[in-house]
Structure 1
């Protein structure tokens, strides 16, 4: 999963907060007011997100409607996987994380690992 820039993250936030697919115009209208973006800017960002496989799109008249290809949690997990893969030493990264994890995070991880089926 590619790293997202600030504007890409803001567009993904809009898509993740919607229960349905959105057009470029819909996304533009739901962006925070302080952004003052052009339609073509949002269209370019959505096209880039589609190229990065972060959003799916389908024809909607003469335009497209967009929806997230991953949940927010799925995207965060993919980003974590990317960090581990790029670290060169995933064991050390995981051990460092384990040392800094809260008690609740540790419990969630232990429970998830206990439920995970064994790998062949």
Structure 2
């Protein structure tokens, strides 16, 4: 996904990705049985959604017998990171202070331990960066 602009993802596309991340690889029929029936949407809609995600390079597929089996190319964390970077880049321009304040605010309001985790992640990043630059 590196070098690719984040594609817009609709609610159904996100639901399909969530299903694949949580349950592993599926063909269109399996995704339809899990998501389509309860949402009242057709098998063709699920199939089209899988095709869109494949064209956006978020899924790979392998033909097995008469059906494609789909596999998520990016993890939930990778996609979330990419989406956040794109939003921050689009909205903040050069003003990153408000973005940093928003992350701290989200962490503090979610759970106090998230502030500790944020601090730990910052320290891990600095250690990794310093180790790589020393090499």
Task: Please confirm whether the aligned pair reaches a TM-score higher than 0.5, indicating the same fold.
Answer: yes
Q: Please, which moves more after superposition, 22-31 or 56-65?
A: 56-65
Question: 2:105 aligned with 1:99, yes or no?
Answer: yes
Question: 2:99 aligned with 1:90, yes or no?
Answer: no
Name the counterpart of 1:50. Answer: 54
Match of 2:8, SS? coil
Task: Give 4+ residue runs of structure 1 displaced > 2 Å after superposition.
Answer: 89-92
Could you tell me which runs of 5 or more consecutive residues in structure 1 were left unpaired when the two chains were aligned: none
CA root-mean-square deviation = 1.9
Larger Rg: 2
Q: Which has the higher contact order (CA 8 A, sep 6+)?
A: 1
The 2-side partners of 1:42 and 1:67 are apart by 15
Could you tell me which runs of 5 or more consecutive residues in structure 2 were left unpaired when the two chains were aligned: 1-5
Name the counterpart of 2:40. Answer: 36
TM-score, with structure 2 as normaliser:
0.76
Name the counterpart of 1:70. Answer: 74
Identify, as 1 or 2, the structure richer in helix: 2
Shift, 1:22, TM fit: 0.5
* Aligned partner of 2:23 among 11, 14, 18: 18
Contact 1:56/1:69 (8 A) holds in 2: yes
Please give the per-residue CA displacement for 1:96-120, whole angstroms capped at 9, x wherever unaligned.
Answer: 3223422322211211121122264
User: Number of residue pairs matched?
Assistant: 119
Name the counterpart of 2:3. Answer: none
